[in-house]
Amino acid sequence: MTDAELIELSEEAMKYAYSPYSRFEVGAAILCESGKVYSGCNVENATFGATNCAERTAVFKAVSEGSADFEAIAITSSGGGLTFPCGICRQVLAEFSPQIRVVLKSEDGEISSFTLSELLPHGFALDKQ
């Protein structure tokens, strides 16, 4: 799957965002090593603390269906421009795939990618034995 195709899937997921408070819609599509893609959108809540980001929605959906071997995640938003994952989402991604590629689209349509380790250089990790 190309980065452009993954971006398109994140844009499709963004259409389902529930963001009545911020009006900031976000979509994510996460690609697994198997080629399967899981998408997610942000789901807000009046308490804000119960809000879930699009990236975590996609990760939790994948993990709940038995996939945790992530290669790349595309993220888009209604704000246009590059929408980087928040700190919590970076930490969740690092739990499963510290070298995942994060694919973003700029306002002018240019697609770029970063490794998660570039975005979270010293992420917290426990020794998994």
Q: Catalytic positions, please?
A: 55
Provide the pairing of β-strand 111-115 with 70-77. unpaired
Backbone φ, ψ for residue 105 (5° rounding): -125, 130
Contact 113, 103 (CB under 8 A): yes
CB 85 within 8 A of CB 77: no
Of 93, 85, 83, which Cα lies nearest the Cα of 123? Answer: 93
